[in-house]
Amino acid sequence: MTVGNMESAQLFDAGEKGRGLRATREINAGEVIFSEPSFSAVVFDSLFSQVCHSCFRQQAQLHRCAQCKFAHYCNRTCQTACWDEHKQECGAIKKAGTAPSENIRLAARVLWRIHKVSGLASDSQLVSVDQLEDHVADLSKEDLDEVNTDVQTFLKYWSHGRKQHSAEYIAHLFGIIKCNGFTLSDQRGLQAVGVGLFPNLCLVNHDCWPNCTVILNHGSVVRPSIHPSLLCLRIELRALRRISEFEELTVSYVDYLNVSADRQRKLKEHFHFDCTCEHCRQRANDDLMTAGADSKPSAEKLKEVAALSREYLENIETARVNGDYHEVLRLCLECLQQQEDVLADTHLLKLRVLSVTSEVLSFLKSFSEAAAYAHRMVEGYKKLYHPNNAQLGMAIMRAGITHWHAGQIEAGHAMICKAYGILMVTHGPSHAITRDLESMRTQTEMELKMFRDNKHEYNAMRDAALKNPTKAV
């Protein structure tokens, strides 16, 4: 699909929600409805020397810009590709003596781009960037103070002989970024590495049970002979199910794994609207997310164990941050013992502990035990998430790999195939994580055949691979 192509979506009046996008034709699950390059994007402050400022890939031994000594690139090709966007930033950083925070850098890049293209980067961009919602009037005093501080810092950064703007206009830009900034992931989609602004994506309204998902595609597979930086870093809006002609296109702004009241609170705090989607109106799945075990414990016991679980999760996080993984495991197992026969496996607090327990056991190479907890976690997720939810697909993938490492090749292969089917819809065939899964699917299929032909030979091969980490996945 051509970058920026908007033939399958159109702007329309979505009533109380304001503007929205709707389908102009029937769309099948997994189809890319539109793709869009960033209007402007920056790497997070904390990763400025670990992530390429052009292609947003995590790389070892990046090359630093000799002028500003802040921006880092894979190589000269990436640096050249990014120079048009970095040129004015480079001069500003040199004059300021240091690079400002990511918010300031993104606002400056947005404003430089507005000056260059008058807010419209292409014919397919439906609205000018400065016409996006800013919700400055809806900000809390604390958030407004933060914006005003950023405005003053920005004006100092911007003040080197360029066209000047009012503090009110700059606050408007910061409001737009705060409400509409999209988190960028690395090439594997596993770590957040930056933030960007995608004007057409900003027009897609929220639904807690959406018909679309958004994925960042680094564009690295269609023509591998071309350097990644020359392929467009873009978001893709992908259909999660069949969408009818003229049906509104929606994405979820928050993780679905929160009870409806918590999702509504987060949406109100961060995006300044009251969610009235069908799942919120019906409190769908709230009962499962807060369910007691089959033993039907009292409401008082449920409340007591839930409070205890929150305390455990705080201590688990502290131990994790300190790198004490044996303590993490001890706390997880203690917490699960307290939760047993009280919280159902779909209870959000239990799912969080099951997830951490599986991860830490995998890290400690106790794969058989990790697989048992991962299986319980996935079964809980499947009862809650949309069947084509990307996070469900990633969780099933991790569980499949854990089962594979545990020698449970039949279960592992089945999970990897299931995850591959989901990610083909949510990420598409060209995404790095989908290609990784395709390789795993081929490998586990081969191993499964070996297992069925000769279990003894297979187990000997697996044990040897696990003793040699360079050969293990």
Where do you find CATH 1.25.40.10 in the chain?
260-467
CA dihedral 32, 390, 275, 19 (to 10 degrees): -20
Q: State which of 50-59, 107-116, 202-211 shows the largest mean pLDDT.
A: 202-211
Where do you find CATH 2.170.270.10 in the chain?
9-248
Predicted local confidence at residue 433, as pLDDT = 92
Assign a CATH topology to domain 9-248: Beta-clip-like (2.170.270)
Residue count (the chain): 473
Predicted local confidence at residue 2, as pLDDT = 37
Predicted local confidence at residue 119, as pLDDT = 64
Q: Which residues are within 8 A (CB) of 147 and not within 5 positions of it... i.e. 6 or more apart? A: 136, 139, 171, 174, 175, 178
CA separation for the pair 335, 313 (Å, rounded) = 8
Predicted local confidence at residue 228, as pLDDT = 42
Q: What percent of the chain has pLDDT over 90?
A: 76
CA separation for the pair 213, 393 (Å, rounded) = 13
Fill in the DSSP letter of residue 24: S
Q: Is the pLDDT of residue 146 over 50?
A: yes
Give the number of other Cβ atoms within 10 Å of residue 412's Cβ: 24
Name the CATH architecture for the domain at 260-467: Alpha Horseshoe (1.25)
Distances (CA, A) of 30 to 238, 242, 370: 6, 9, 31
Convert the pLDDT of each residue in 286-337 to its tens digit: 999 999 999 899 999 999 999 999 999 999 999 999 999 999 999 999 999 9
Predicted local confidence at residue 333, as pLDDT = 98
Q: Write out 176-210 in H/E/C secondary structure.
A: HHHHHCEEEECCCCCCEEEEEECCCHHHCEECCCC
